[in-house]
Amino acid sequence: MYVCNCNGLRRRDVAQSIEAGAERPRDIFASHGCQAQCAKCVCEMRQMIQASRESFALAAE
């Protein structure tokens, strides 16, 4: 499933960037050598980043 249609970023691409340390949508775009075009995907990327942080916090408990 695509998260960013403009740059062809799939959900797994975004997840890999987050696992590699991306903390903001800007970091995700940079890791794939692109930048936001229409920015419709930014909200979903932020949600994925937040979900990742929450799962790490739970794992640390």
Residue range 13-52, pLDDT digits in tens? 999 999 999 999 999 999 999 999 999 999 999 999 999 9
pTM of the model: 0.90
Asked whether the beta carbons of 48 and 14 are under 8 A apart, the reply is yes
Which of the two residues, 7 and 60, has the higher pLDDT score?
Answer: 7
Q: Is the pLDDT of residue 61 over 80?
A: no
Provide the pLDDT confidence category of residue 58 given band limits of 50, 70 and 90.
confident
Provide the pLDDT confidence category of residue 8 given band limits of 50, 70 and 90.
very high
Class of domain 2-60: mainly alpha
Count CB neighbours of 1 within 10 A: 5
